[in-house]
Amino acid sequence: PHVVRREDYRPPDWLVPDIALDFDLDAAATRVHATLSVTRNGDHDRPLKLDGDGLLPLEIRVDGNPVAADLWSMDSGALVIALPDAVHIVETLVEIAPQDNSKLMGLYASGGLLCTQCEAEGFRRITFFPDRPDVLSRYSVRMAADKALYPVLLANGDPVEQGELPGGRHWARWNDPFPKPCYLFALVAGDLACNADRFVTMSGREVQLGIWVREADLPRTAHAMQALRNSMAWDERVYGREYDLDVFNIVAVADFNFGAMENKGLNIFNSRYILADPETATDIDYDGVEGVVAHEYFHNWSGNRVTCRDWFQLSLKEGFTVFRDQNFSADMGSHAVKRIEDVRILRAAQFQEDSGPLAHPVRPESYMEISNFYTATIYNKGAELIRMMALMLGPERFRAGTDLYFDRHDGEAATCEDFVRAMEEGGEIDLGQFRLWYEQAGTPHVRALLTHDPVARSVTLLLEQTVPPTPGQPEKRPMAIPLRTALFDPETGENRGDELLMLTEARQSFTFQGWTAAPILSINRGFSAPVIVETNRSQADLAFLSAHDDDPFARYEAMQQLMVNVLVGRIGGQAVDEDAVIAAIRNAATDPLLDPAFVAEAIRLPSEAYLGDQMAVVDPDAIHAARDALQRRIGAELEPLWRDIHARTRANAFALSSVAKGARKLRNTALLYLAASGAVDGPTVAFGQFSEADNMTERQAALATLANGTSAEREAALDIFYNRYRDDALTLDKWFQTQAFAFHPDTVDLVEELGRHKDFTLTNPNRVRALYGAFAGNQWAFHHPSGKGYRLVADCIIALDKLNPQTAARLVPPLGRWKRFDEPRAALMRAELQRILLEPGLSKDVTEQVSKSLE
């Protein structure tokens, strides 16, 4: 397959300042008439090339006249037209079939709606166009459709005109005054109800806000609307960025390949990131809605007003926008807990990616299929890069840098280099070496060794960094790594001051004076750099920090490291003192000054996958056994504490405040430990919580706790849940997901059965992720020694690839990590990858991921 390289970038041959689109909408056959004003870009005689994917030109006109047959041709889907002059009007007519579009890219049908998804290269499935982000156009869109089936017609920008047509049809025209790349084009037609609101911007302009859903879902849109208004106010306050159109619309659709899409003025969302009510949404779902609404809204500046020059710059908009939504969510809730959650996600998704066959830099050098590069590296590691720059610059200079970036590049298609340069100039800092973060893949390892010299009364911190080799990058250069560091006095427990140490060499020492006794090291506080730190700290030091560190992330981290050491010891068959862990958990869980949400994070055992990452060869069974045994011991030894917390955190009425959310989070953790204790009434207590809960957070947690066991209550709860929510797709996803995630000896067989369940379908990406995505993330079950888990996922990839390659390709990475496992498992995983590759007609998406995984 064709490989696209960053170094091959050339400016577009032709520009399209204006485009008028005329849609005659129909689910079976939609006609798209496009009128492009094109201008030659530079002095050349190359023809106009309009990308197309599965399109046939029914008409081609230049300056109003049909084009002679010898002046146009087709080249792998694209329409090539020879043009004599520098400026022309080009018209094309095509017919497409939205209802047959199972890829969910381009114009497609979902639950009676017609909607679009164009990023990255879906627009070429709608009409012939130079489908690249550096071609910016003003859009005028006319839609005509059956009025009964599609009473609402939406597109980007502002509505300008509408009217009636014969035969029960109607039409509407929308204009978007802001030039944009075609990946931001959108339209929606359907029978939708609107939650309407308004927002007055900082300069006093009134914006009409609309969240469009099925009539029955209207009551579930209040949280999203609140999140939208909060996001608009936050971007004004924190970045000085105001909204720029008179309307802002959001539409929720049931079948969507990912979370949501930031189309100018018309965001289209996976309904799971819009709809929320206490009956069906967990607190995590509520936070997801808030975070994704904010993310898409923030793209209006970081993505739309300033867009990307080419897809290698994807992190320019995604990393920055994730950073912005993370800080927004932190401001809406708890900074400490949000940081812990974000690091947990980074480690689970990005660190794994960075250490496997699909590792790539934040600014990649090449791709076969760009859809495969919407990764945790581009998004989450990209956000960490922005965070490091913000830390090094400090808030004022960072804001000066972002102001310069937005002002300088407004209306342009920019690069990551443009962003870094704006930070350098606006922030008056040299980021020369820092740029390596965009170039080099792999998670840096930092070894930190603290030695004390009692005679000189000094301590020396020796730091050594290595960046592991990754595909195509065998050798690495030292990075610029900002490490927030503090030293604690062991006697007074006092922090003698935070410092930002810049590690820029392979090996570097820092000396601190005035220490009669050896201090305790707190390093990478707040997770200031996305690196793996190894230290020579004792379990006693970690226990100290888990009780006294005044940086909440570092305190959490000390606690986790304490647990990791015990578990890794246990897995390796060494006797390790577990009492320190039990004591640290008791301390945290009984400290009245700590936020319950923080406590719940801190006392939770590291995930099985994270433990796997600490081992040279992952042993899923030993990891599960060790973690399970420690969990049971914590449960049993602290049983009265878990009962007490569980009873004490019971609320009288549902609230969505941070306090109420924190209480539920801690309550669910207490239930987990209580069930693990082996107490005979464990299943009864869990079933009680399941039955009495007035919210999904507690109901689903109780279900998950029961699903891990083999009690009679397990079946009862699963049946009740199914019967109650069988008609609510988003909630039924939780029923599939909970079983796929369960620590149950038969999970692999249950997943096979669930794949044949009448409510399972490959046509809905949420359902596929709920079952197979969740299962592939369940290390113990997925890596069942029989290899059956691998076969199930490979079968799913093969079947799904025929319908929806983009979503199929997202299931490949778990199979690609075979090098991390013992040879029998590795051989089984490779065999499944090879079987997939033999499939005739395999998509570019899956081919790229599988072939890279086999290298």
Give the residues lining the site for ligand B3K (CB under 6 A): 119-120, 258, 260-262, 295-296, 299, 318, 371, 374
Tell me the closest approach of the beta carbon of residue 259 to ligand B3K, in angstroms: 6
| Smallest distance from ligand B3K to CB 270, Å | 10
Residue 549 interacts with which of Zn ion, ligand B3K, none, CB < 5 to 8 Å by class: none
Work out how close the CB of 1 gets to ligand B3K at its nearest, in angstroms, rounded to a whole number: 18
Residue 86 tokens, joined: 């520098």
Residue closer to ligand B3K (CB basis): 253 or 563? 253
CB 834, CB 847: distance < 8 Å:
no
Residues paired with 261 in a beta bridge:
268
Query: What's the token pair of residue 318?
Result: 């995604």
- Phi then psi dihedrals of residue 689, to 5 deg: -60, -40
374 to 132, 258, 312, 364, 809: CA distances (angstroms): 16, 10, 11, 11, 11
Cα–Cα distances in Å, from 836 out to 278, 477, 551, 655?
Answer: 42, 37, 47, 48
Nearer to ligand B3K, 267 or 560 (CB): 267
Q: Which of 296, 185, 289 is nearest to 235 (CA)?
A: 296
Nearest distance in Å: CB 346, ligand B3K:
16
Residue 270 binds which of ligand B3K, Zn ion, none (CB < 5-8 A, kind-dependent): none
- Dihedral sign for Cα atoms in the order 103, 106, 110, 112: negative
Pick between residue 176 and residue 262 the one whose CB is nearest to ligand B3K. 262
Binder of residue 234, out of ligand B3K, Zn ion, none (CB less than 5 to 8 A by kind): none
Q: Whole-number minimum distance, CB 134 to ligand B3K, in Å?
A: 16
Cα distances (Å, whole numbers) of residue 399 to 380, 422, 561: 21, 11, 35
DSSP string, 418-462: HHHHHHHHHHT---TGGGHHHH--S--EEEEEEEEETTTTEEEEE
296 is catalytic: yes
Q: Say if residues 503 and 465 touch (Cβ distance below 8 Å).
A: yes
Nearest-approach distance from CB 316 to Zn ion, in angstroms: 11
If the CB atoms of residues 261 and 386 are measured against ligand B3K, the closer one turns out to be 261
Q: Determine phi and psi for 462, rounding to 5 degrees.
A: -95, 125
CB of 21 to Zn ion, least distance (A): 24
- Closer to ligand B3K by Cβ: residue 311 or 721: 311
Chain position whose Cβ is nearest to ligand B3K: 119
Distance (Å) of CA 788 to CA 52, 516, 665, 827: 40, 59, 34, 13
Closest CA to 545 of 450, 447, 634: 450
Number of residues assigned to the chain: 855
Contact partner, 119, from ligand B3K, Zn ion, none, Cβ < 5-8 Å per class: ligand B3K
- From ligand B3K, Zn ion, none, which one binds at residue 698 (CB under 5 to 8 Å depending on kind)? none
Alpha-carbon gap, residue 554 to 549, rounded angstroms:
7
- Residue pair 566/576 in contact (Cβ under 8 Å)? The answer is yes
What does 541 interact with, of ligand B3K, Zn ion, none (CB < 5 to 8 A by kind)?
none
DSSP three-state, residue 184: helix
Q: What is the smallest separation between the CB atom of 303 and Zn ion, expressed in angstroms?
A: 7
- Minimum CB separation of residue 369 from ligand B3K in Å reads 10
From residue 508, give the alpha-carbon distance in Å to each of 233, 469, 768: 44, 21, 48
Distance CA 581, CA 578 (A): 5
Starting at the earlier edge strand, list the strands of the sheet with 458-466: 507-513, 458-466, 445-453, 532-535
Task: Identify the active-site residue in 91, 262, 290, 296.
Answer: 296
Nearest to ligand B3K of 131, 318 (CB atom) = 318
Q: Which does 258 bind (CB under 5 to 8 A by kind): ligand B3K, Zn ion, none?
A: ligand B3K
734 binds, among ligand B3K, Zn ion, none (CB under 5 to 8 A by kind): none
Residue 6: DSSP 8-state? G
**Residue 171, contacted partner among Zn ion, ligand B3K, none, CB below 5-8 A by kind:** none
Q: Are 755 and 793 in contact (CB under 8 A)?
A: no
Using the minimum distance from each CB to ligand B3K, give the nearer residue, 257 or 705.
257
The listed partner (ligand B3K, Zn ion, none) that binds 261, CB under 5 to 8 Å by sort, is: ligand B3K
Q: What share of the chain is helix, strand, coil (3-state, %, to 5)?
A: 45, 25, 30
Nearer to ligand B3K, 321 or 352 (CB): 321
Judged by beta carbon, residue 262 or residue 713, the one nearer ligand B3K is 262
Closer Cβ to Zn ion, 321 or 843, answer by number: 321
Residues ≥6 apart with Cβ < 8 Å to 216 = none
The residues of the shown chain that bind Zn ion, judged by CB under 5 A, are: 318, 321
Amino acid found at 330: A
Q: Which residues pair with 447 in a beta bridge?
A: 464, 534
Q: How far is the CB of 119 from ligand B3K (least distance, A)?
A: 4
Sole residue written with tokens 């950073």: 323
Return the active site residues: 296
